[in-house]
Copies of this chain bind each other. A is one copy, B any other.
Amino acid sequence: MRDVCVVGLGLIGGSVLRAAAAAGRAVWGATASEEDAEVARGDGYAVTGLAEALDRAREQDALVVVAVPLPNVEDVLRAVPAGTRLTDVVSVKGPVRDLVARLAPAARYVGGHPMAGTSASGWAAGRSDLFRDAAWVVSAEDGTDVDVLTDVIGLALAAGAHVVPATADEHDAAVARISHLPHVLAAVLASVGADGGPLALALAAGSFTDGTRVAGSRPELVRAMCEGNRSALLAAVDDALGRLGAARGSLASTGGLAKTIEAGHRARLTLDEQQEAGGANLTVDLTSPQALAALRALGARGGRVVGLNGSTALARTS
């Protein structure tokens, strides 16, 4: 089992460290937060400075997990030695891929994004089971280092997650639609509702409270997530503007909303059906020249890797 070095011990990094330790891995970490470091040490984890942690990773040929916020990724990457097995857990993948290409081109990098979290933050909020049953997206570009890809898949599975393979751009486009746009629309809806004054808010029931729930998230976290995925989010917002504008036009001209409401209903049923579908088992031989293409095809169809047997990935279609 590959040793794991986690850089950044907040909610996500701290949970990765705990999950890897719980799965029997040798683990250690580094954090710029003296507070997090102290509590983590008190919980029995080895926490050192960044250089020391990365040195040990090179000696042990460990997998290094970058778990700092996007604005701090640069500083970490500048310290990463050539040849390091490297992944990250940042919520956008294209920008991190580009930073790695510029600042740590000789690292053996495979991007990742475990899709779990709570509104809490910091080491104390972490849990070893944070990723249980969550999707952990792993980059599977052409040219990806399959040996490190296998390490990342192994770590994700050890944490109880399932692995969704995708390119960085596919990931960013998808999360713009199903995570970042929902936050923007929730903010817009909350503001339009509050514009209606106390009477409107007094009448708010389930459709409004559900539709605005994530507007209660910490604004700085939402901004960092959405702004970090700027170009993909712009495309998703344009799609929403086009659809909302079409609804407006139809309501104004004919009084009808059939197309909007029926398309939305079908889309929601598609989500429910995909989540409830049983799926079929298949395997992907990670040593095959077609492995990366096969993994990407699996992810594009809504499938996931659920196990690893040596160099064979056990997968389920949606």
A residues near B (Cβ < 8 Å) are 115, 135, 137, 164, 166, 170, 173-175, 177-179, 181-217, 219, 222-223, 226-227, 230, 233-234, 236-241, 243-245, 247-248, 251-252, 255-258, 260-272, 274-275, 299-304, 318
Contact = CB atoms under 8 A, between A and B. Distances in A.
Name the residue among A192, A258, A275, A300 with the largest chain B CB count within 10 angstroms: A192
Contacts of A260: 184, 187-188, 191
A241 to B, nearest CB: 6
A234 B247 contact: no
A246 B255 CA distance: 26
Contact of A208 (B179, B234, B300): B179
Nearest to A268: B215
A297 B105 CA distance: 66
A215 B265 contact: yes
Contact of A207 (B183, B193, B200): B183
Given A174-B196, A203-B179, A215-B268, A237 B241 contact: no
A303 B243 CA distance: 36
6 contacts: A181-B193, A187-B260, A199-B302, A211-B211, A217-B265, A237-B248
Nearest to A254: B227
Given A182-B207, A201-B275, A223-B257, 6 more contacts: A178-B204, A201-B270, A202-B304, A222-B257, A230-B251, A241-B244
Contact of A300 (B137, B197, B267, B269): B197
A209 B271 contact: yes
Contact of A240 (B174, B192, B274): B192
Contacts of A257: 184, 222-223, 226-227
B178 A200 contact: yes
B201 A182 contact: no
A318 B196 CA distance: 15
B271 A189 contact: no
Given A200-B174, A251-B230, A271 B194 contact: yes
Contacts of A184: 244, 247, 257, 260-261
Contact of A179 (B182, B205, B261, B274): B205
B301 A198 contact: yes
Name the residue among A185, A198, A203, A264 with the largest chain B CB count within 10 angstroms: A264
B216 A234 contact: no
A274 B191 contact: no
A208 B271 CA distance: 10
B265 A187 contact: yes
Given A251-B233, A262-B219, A207 B214 contact: yes
Contacts of A230: 251, 255
B216 A272 contact: yes
A211 B239 CA distance: 16
Contacts of A174: 196-197, 199-200, 203
A107 B30 CA distance: 77
